Amino acid sequence: MSIPSWVPIREELRGEEPYGAPQIDVPVRLNTNENPYGPSPEAAADIAEAVRQAALELNRYPDREATALREALAGYLGHGLTAAHVWAANGSNEVMQQILQAFGGPGRTVLSFAPTYSMYPEYARNTHTRWVAGRRREDFAIDVPAAVALIEAEQPDVVFLTSPNNPTGTALGADELNAVLKVAPGVVVVDEAYAEFRRAGTPTALELLDEQPRLIVTRTMSKAFALAGGRLGYLAADPAIVDALRIVRLPYHLSAVTQATALGALRHTDELLARVDELRSTRDETSAWLADRGYDVAASDANFVLFGHFTDRHAVWEGLVDRGVLIREVGPDGWLRVSIGTPDEMRAFRTALMEVDPR
């Protein structure tokens, strides 16, 4: 894609590509960390009924504050949180862009640790926020002394930590998070898009919200709730932080249809989350199988696994596509990421990988 020169786009956007994984129509799609299980017919019917009712009032703007939804999300998160602590938008992508609109901007800096989610530099670019990336350790954990030194030197207005991290699956320990919180002068965002998939004993940053007023924890319904198509991301933070975000949000940014959909899904939380345990076991089995075959496997607390090394990862990726299995060519050179699908999908992945890369 190339934007013609007569289009007066901002100079720094010239030559940029729209973000997105390839959407290739193949039988087994394990490339965007979606939940392979859709809502049950009962949950889908309940969501559809909620949307039907909302449709009768589509002549009116929706609840600008999405209060009922924020209350329901606070109830789901627990930890004593209320609607005032919760903010929601169209995917955690929008939540994070709003965070940079409020806390980043010209003359301000956002800092993260690579390899990490590749949208962060794009939110920075879109909001004119300076982007600084430190490096993770070889095992993809945060290098605490290096992180502390970088934060002290750069004085970032926003720090993005990701736990579990995408694309590595690495979770953040309480000690690492506390060390960052101690030196970070601005807001610290822990992106917990995959939190529900974490292994037993891995903490959530929600536990620290009480004592850390500049901590923001973002979540999404896209993964564990199997609602990627519904576009609902949210965060928990001090109510004063939420009020700051309300200044930059567009009025009525969350449509009545989105609010009804998310509320409908939340009524089926137990059912939707029932599959998470299954996906966690399949993840652990997949990691073990890959390790048995001699791959390096990044320890994962998420619904995907990063494995390597390949001298030509693109050839392997392509060989899998040829066999109807789409995974993701992402992260450090030589590694590939596979999202966890159904047992049948993982069988197809294993068969295709053995063919493409016999060992």
Summarize as ranges the residues that interact with ligand PMP (CB under 6 A). Answer: 33, 91-93, 117, 162, 166, 191, 193, 220, 222, 228, 233
Half-sphere CA count of 142, side-chain side, radius 13 A: 29
Angstrom distances, CA of residue 84 to CA of 7, 62, 69, 75, 102: 43, 18, 11, 12, 17
Euclidean distance between CA atoms 46 and 132, whole angstroms: 44
CB of 94 to ligand PMP, least distance (A): 7
Euclidean distance between CA atoms 134 and 5, whole angstroms: 35
* Nearer residue to ligand PMP within complex by CB, 33 or 300: 33
* Nearer residue to ligand PMP within complex by CB, 220 or 259: 220
* Nearer residue to ligand PMP within complex by CB, 32 or 40: 32
Structure tokens at 247: 């200044």
* Nearer residue to ligand PMP within complex by CB, 97 or 212: 97
Determine the residue with CB nearest ligand PMP. 91
Beta carbons within 10 angstroms of residue 202's beta carbon: 15
CB of 191 to ligand PMP, least distance (A): 5
Structure tokens at 230: 């519904």
CB of 20 to ligand PMP, least distance (A): 10
CB of 162 to ligand PMP, least distance (A): 5
CB of 126 to ligand PMP, least distance (A): 14
Strands of 296-297's sheet, edge to edge?
296-297, 304-308, 336-339
* Nearer residue to ligand PMP within complex by CB, 99 or 193: 193
E strands in 229-292: 233-236
